Amino acid sequence: MKQTQTLNHPLDDLLRTDRIPHIWCPGCGIGTAFSACLIAMKESGINLAKTAMVSGIGCSGRGAGYVKLDSYHTTHGRAIPFATGLKLANPELNVVVFSGDGDLFAIGGNHFIHAARRNMDLTVVCVNNFNYGMTGGQAAATTPHLARTTTTPMGNPEMPFNLPLLAWASGATYVARWTILHARDLAESIEEALQRRGFSFIEVLSPCPVNYGRRNKMKPMDTLRIFKEKTLIKNNAQPTELGIDFERGIVLGKFVDEDKPSCGELYDKTCRPSLTQGTAA
């Protein structure tokens, strides 16, 4: 009889394996985005014992529950302010926010723009699946115009956010967008962001076949085909050109990468120069 061999997954040491199977649906892209994030953390060489993940609520918000690091699954939309408190309390920590578009940009939109404005030292990974998956597929602040969701049964009358533009305009010092098909670029981007000081934002386009895809005539493979055929990598593209249009095409790449002092550094310099002089690296 053939012996079955159990192979350990290379990310096992970063996973709460006792919590697997995860809740994500077959065909969902969140798992791919999540593993890209874990790969980036591993590859970056940052001290993982000093790394925390914070999530809000939603399908992507479950990320914090699966990572074997200090991890906090907080309230809806509040991952960023929670992470802000955590980071300011212990500036040694690398703090990664992993959450979805509904969480970060509708209910949490105000927190996002202010954290970006402050250049808070956080790495924010947003899985954008164009709708609220967890609650059954309602319209989000990212749902394309005319797309169908359970709360836009005649098509979405509203216009969506252009997330990289919003991040850039708010003051983020690192902004990139990838899809889950571009897992390598995505992991590299997150890795780079982890090494940057200040507010980094990475948008990951991801299929939600169960809710968004089903109502918009997109089978799992259709969404991936769009991600493959309708995307164009254009680093340093103008943020104003980054609106998502499934017909005309979607621009991916790294759009912003500036080195500016973070919120914590500016606080030290402005408010407690005498206390931090000796300790600054």
Interaction site with another protein (CB under 8 A): 16, 18-19, 49-50, 52, 54, 64-65, 68-75, 78, 80-90, 92-93, 110-111, 114, 267, 271-272, 275
Q: Are 258 and 239 in contact (CB under 8 A)?
A: no
| DSSP character string of 93-106 | -EEEEEEEHIIIII
Q: Which of 133, 144, 160, 264 binds ligand SF4 (CB under 6 A)?
A: 133
Q: Under the criterion CB under 6 A, does residue 198 sit at the interface with ligand SF4? A: no
Nearer to another protein, 87 or 177 (CB): 87
Structure tokens given for 262: 């973070």
Residue 55 C-beta: closest distance to another protein, Å: 9
Q: Which of 208, 218, 224, 244 lies at the binding interface for ligand SF4 (CB under 6 A)?
A: 208
Question: Which residue bears the tokens 């990310």?
Answer: 11
Q: How far apart are CA 222 and CA 170, in angstroms?
A: 33
Contacting ligand SF4 (CB under 6 A), which of 38, 48, 59, 190?
59
211 binds ligand SF4, rule: CB under 6 A:
yes
Query: Which distant-in-sequence residues (6+ apart) come within 8 Å of 114 by Cβ?
Result: 170
Asked if residue 142 binds ligand SF4 (CB under 6 A), the reply is no
CB of 67 to another protein, least distance (A): 8
Minimum distance, C-beta of residue 98 to ligand SF4, in the bound complex (Å) = 13
Q: Give the integer Cα–Cα distance in Å for 265 and 227.
A: 38
Whichever of 203 and 268 has its CB closer to another protein, that residue is 268
Options 25-33, 68-76, 183-191, 273-281: segment touching ligand SF4 (CB under 6 A) = 25-33
Rounded distance between C-alpha atoms, residue 207 and residue 28, angstroms: 6
Which of ligand SF4, another protein, none does residue 208 bind to, with CB < 5 to 8 Å depending on kind? Answer: ligand SF4
How does DSSP assign 72-140, residue by residue?
A: EE-STT-HHHHHHHHHHH-TT-EEEEEEEHIIIIIITHHHHHHHHHHT-S-EEEEEE-SEETTTTSEE-
- Residue 129 makes contact with ligand SF4 by CB under 6 A: yes
17-22: long-range contacts, CB 8 A cutoff, minimum separation 24? 19/65, 19/66, 20/66, 22/62, 22/66
Q: Which residues bind ligand SF4 (CB under 6 A)?
A: 24-25, 28, 30, 59, 129, 133-134, 208-211
